[in-house]
Amino acid sequence: ILSCLKSKDTDGAEIAVAKLDNSVASLKKTLSRPLWKMASHMPVANKYMKSVNKLIATVDDASDSIIKPAIIVMKDYPLTELKASDGFNITIINAYLSLLDDIEPKIDEMLATMETINLPMGMNSMISEYSEKIAGMTGSYSELKEYLPLFKAFIGSGEDKTYLLVAQNSSEIRAAGGFPGSIGTIKIRDGILSIGDFKPVREVLAAVASPDANVTSLEEKIFCSWVTSAPDASFIPAFDRVGLIWALAYEEEANEAVDGVVSLTPSIIQSVLSFSDAVTLSDGTLLSGDNATQVLQHDLYYQYMPSNSTSNEGNEIVDALFAETAKVTMANLVSNFDVNKVADYFSIFANGAKDRTIMMWMADEANEELVKNAGCSGMLNYDANEPEIGVFFSFFDPCKLGWFLGIDSTVGEPVVNEDGSRTYDVSVVFSNSISAEERRTSSYIKGNYSGSILGHIQIFAPAGGTITDYDNNAGDRFREEEYKDLQLIYKLSALIRPDDAYEVTFKITTAPGVTAVPKVITTPTLQKYRE
């Protein structure tokens, strides 16, 4: 049965189920005979007979409540029809999600029962082997089911929806990811989910943030005045704010309501390509699961913007290649979608949510709560019991030095205070790895400071905690402020020189009674792709 289900052979599965049902009926008939009834009263055989009866009942129940429903769904909603033209059929997706919701707890119950079965002559090892195979039916689902309520809300029941798909450019680092170089759409129309073309951000968003976004004077003060420009909203590290600003700016420009915003950084391209075929861009550039991030965030700039470059031609070529990359990668994902790799696709989402390379915002408040529960909201931390130190960096000087930026942190051992709070010494080191040779390039790449990175730093205390005793090795003056009930220190226009380290030290005190060591959450850098 499992072999047929795996190969989507529903006719073969039905034949195998019929054989299984006949075998179960035959076993029940045999065990009802006087000889076996008498054996069940013997002390040695009694414990085995209980296991046999339990096993048969479990198999019988599995046939009726797990396997047959699965076959019905596979026949009524064949996976061959999942892809429709250039998108995915929402009805088929929801049919399988409902099936998994229904049978997953039954499989868990079945596996728990099989663990209690005790049979002689090595048969327990056979039972264990079958348990592993059965667990494999929904193993991927079990690992990723924490994200499924959000996914189901995202796709809905087939009603029309529009989402923005924002490609943030990590070479132009911003607190919430990067400059949103190009923006596409995810649209659900007539029950089909499809991904639209990507366009330059300034063709998609209104230039100025909508008054409805209510960008405050405090946000201008601590994140810089550029946040009043809608494309520059990602200077704000809280993605729930950024997503709202971008959605309103799109609605003003396109006169179309937005149900949510999904943000991706270029490293996601490499993750997607690691589970699909490599793609070749129009200029012959090959992108794969091994090289995509370095090519997009470093190599293309140096290829098209040499040291003697003085025009915008190279910039326009690279921007066009970025938009093309997003388009062909998503098209490649759709056309080569493999249902057997669903767990791999979900793992991209799960890993991206952890390191802020994938973030979401939903317009509906209930759906936004699901985003928060799934850990991909990109919002600032407000859980005092799971303390986080937020470390965010944004380029102020226009350049493409994101490839060279590093952010490394160290949290020391705690000192327990009289009120039950804990104080930690923390060090954050910002580094710039650009070499002398790499500095021989156009100012478009290296900026206006000979390869030095000029940018804004914001460091947030954990919820309910404080940040004190801050200092830095550059002699810069940091300012202190409070933003949405969180204390922070910030420095606008800190200079990080090549092959140098800009270190900020401070003390973090968590809320009283909190024993968890604070995690450090940062703007996602590209440093792991350089190593």
Residue identified by tokens 């076959």 is 71
pLDDT tens, 231-256? 999 999 999 999 999 999 999 999 99
Is 25 a residue whose pLDDT tops 70?
yes
What Å distances lie between residue 459 and 225, 388, 496, 508, CA to CA? 18, 11, 16, 11
Q: Do the beta carbons of residue 342 and residue 246 sit within 8 Å? A: no
The answer to whether residues 333 and 269 touch, using CB atoms and an 8 Å cutoff, is: no
Burial (Cβ within 10 Å: 0-12, 13-18, ≥19) of residue 498? buried
Pair type for strands 161-174 and 177-189: antiparallel
Count of Cβ atoms closer than 10 Å to residue 338 Cβ:
11
Give the confidence band of 393 by pLDDT, cuts at 50, 70, 90: very high
Q: Are 93 and 79 in contact (CB under 8 A)?
A: no
Residue by residue, what is the 3-state secondary structure of 111-151? HHHHHCCCCCCCHHHHHHHHHHHHHHHHHHHHHHHHHHHHH
**Coil, helix or strand at residue 266:** coil
Nearest to 127 by CA among 56, 182, 188: 56
Whether the pLDDT of residue 173 is over 90: the answer is yes
Q: In angstroms, rounded to a whole number, what is the distance separating the alpha carbons of residues 485 and 465?
A: 10
Contacts of 382 (CB under 8 A, 6+ apart): 463, 485, 486
Helical packing angle, 43-62 and 10-31, nearest 10°: 150
For residue 139, the model assigns a pLDDT of 63
pLDDT bracket for residue 60 (50, 70, 90): confident
- Cα separation of the two ends of the chain: 47
Q: What is the pLDDT of residues 404-439, one digit of tens each?
A: 999 999 999 999 999 999 999 999 999 999 999 999
Given a contact cutoff of 8 angstroms between Cβ atoms, the answer to whether 114 and 52 are in contact is no
Residue pair 495/365 in contact (Cβ under 8 Å)? The answer is no
Q: Do residues 163 and 260 make contact, with C-beta atoms less than 8 angstroms apart? A: yes
Percent of the chain whose predicted confidence (pLDDT) is above 90: 61
Q: Of all helices (H) and strands (E), which one includes residue 3? A: helix 2-6
Share of the chain above pLDDT 70, in %: 98
Coil, helix or strand at residue 42: coil
**pLDDT level of residue 87 (50, 70, 90 thresholds):** confident
Q: What is the pLDDT of residue 293?
A: 94
pLDDT confidence of residue 140: 62
Predicted confidence (pLDDT) at residue 198 exceeds the cutoff of 90: no
In sequence order, what DSSP letters do the residues of 403-463 get, joined into one string?
GGEEEEEEE---EE-TTS-EEEEEEEEEEE---TTTTSS-HHHHTTTTT-EEEEEEEEPPT
Residue 345 pLDDT grade (very low, low, confident, very high; cuts 50, 70, 90): confident
**CB atoms < 10 A from the CB of 111, how many?**
15
Q: What distance in Å separates the CA atoms of residue 346 and residue 352, rounded to the nearest whole number? A: 10
Higher pLDDT, 47 or 527: 527
The amino acid occupying position 454 is: L
Distance (Å, rounded) from C-alpha 423 to C-alpha 507?
7
- For the residues 304-329, what does the mean pLDDT come to? 78
Q: What are residue 327's DSSP bridge partners? A: none
Q: How far lies 400's CA from each of 170, 429, 448, 452, in Å?
A: 9, 20, 11, 11
Q: What number is the average pLDDT over the span 56-73?
A: 89
pLDDT of residue 420: 95
**The pairing of beta strand 486-496 with beta strand 286-287:** unpaired
Cα–Cα distance for residue pair 353/379, rounded to 1 Å: 11
| Residue matched to tokens 């046999």 | 52
In single-letter form, the type of residue at position 184 comes to: G
Q: Model confidence over 367-381: pLDDT tens digits?
A: 999 999 999 999 999
User: pLDDT tens digits, residue range 119-172?
Assistant: 887 788 888 887 777 776 666 666 677 788 899 999 998 899 999 999 999 999
Task: Judge whether residue 403 has pLDDT over 70.
Answer: yes
Predicted local distance difference test score (pLDDT) of residue 488: 98
Q: Which residues contact 241 (CB under 8 A, 6 or more apart)?
A: 219, 233
- What pLDDT is recorded for position 122? 78
* Alpha carbon distance 6, 411 (integer Å): 48
Residue whose pair of structure tokens reads 């009263």 in the numeric block: 41
